[in-house]
Structure 1
Amino acid sequence: MRRLFTPSQEAEICKRYIAKESTSVIANSLGTGHRVINGVLKRNNIAIRTRGRYISVDYNLIFTLYKQGLSDGEIAGKLNCTKGLVQSAIYKKKPEIRRGRSEAIKISQRTKNRKWVNGKPELRGSKNPLWKGGKTELSQAIRADALYKKWRSNIFERDEYICQDCGDKSAPGNKVILHADHIIPLHELIDIHRLKTIEQSRNCESLWDISNGRTLCRSCHKKTATYRVNRHIK
């Protein structure tokens, strides 16, 4: 088999590897692959170490460079180690980085907000200035009630399981997810009739009036102004 390197070049490769340079770093500097370097080492009876076992790198330094905006590859080149070792160091130091920096910020903010409220009992529940009378809990209880499930089924049957906006319906090979949409939103009905408990809700005829409902496919439902988040967008 023809060798890619001369004996003197192979000797230099072995010398660099013994000096704790990785096969990837050596390969990159010579414009070849790490497997070629592994072959050179084997031919010269150099034991190939397990990745990262003999490379001594300051994990705190890696994380400091990462926070300065350097990429994994730039840090690896600067510290003469592999990208895998850099990524491992970063993940061990701060696991949430695996989800991406923006997501890590969101997670951190959610945790901060939760701790802030949990640490202030005087701001929980009805004591919070943003309290709306427990409408969220009541809405969830209504949606879990048997009367709501019957109301939903009645709307689907009346509309023959067809989206009243786009006309789509389930067929072989085309499953359509249907929603029972409130024309007057549920949270507004709770306000209008001043409902506070599930018992009051069960006795409210307007809440179960199927004329206030329509069948929509999931896509059409998401386009409505009253769909969950959309109703908060002005």
Structure 2
Amino acid sequence: MPKGIFVRKPFTKVHKKNISKAKIGSVAWNKGLKGWLKHTEESKRKMSEASLKRGARPPNNSKPKVEKICEYCGKIYEVLPHEVNERQYCSIFCSSKGKNSWNLGKHHTYEWRLNLSLKRKGKNNPSYIDGRNKLNRRSRRSLRYKIWREKVFKRDNYTCIWCGARNGNGKNVVLQADHNNPWALYPKLRYKVDNGRTLCISCHKKTDSYKKNIKL
């Protein structure tokens, strides 16, 4: 038997003409069919009976579906009988919006947050690099500063004391806790709540203690 790769020679025009004449009058086997060959209803019934005799599980679409109401959007949707007690929402979107987060409404105490901060502070932090952060940056990122800022916001009811701007009613206002006496000039008053005030960004930029306006 010869070895190697054989390439079929292209048909000549005469050969193609002879093949075309030979197929005149014959009907293609897939004429009138869309896609693959479709089974008749009788053929489908026989295949279903044969699969059930072999012990196959009947398809789920043969069971009547049950209507339910989505607990989030109120839309009526259909589920299979075995999913009645499992599904409460019509889609993944409604499921994510309808379920409450496990930590919703839970707040840690200041003592707990302070202890956790001390355990991850300085050389105790696995990402610590000696001499990388300045003292000023570390102070502004400390838990003590965050607690001071929260107390200032709560005292002013999360409202700018100059223009009265606050979040809500479609408005997104960024509030900042400003020091009456500048941070750099009065280090002993940095964490005094009486030395803080709530301002929006535009009002904060107008103050003399803003970082670009302050004169040391």
| Pairwise TM-score range, normalised by the shorter structure | 0.3 to 0.5
**What's the TM-score, normalizing by structure 2?**
0.37
More strand by percentage? 2
Task: Work out which structure has the larger RCO, using CA pairs closer than 8 Å and 6 or more positions apart in sequence.
Answer: 1
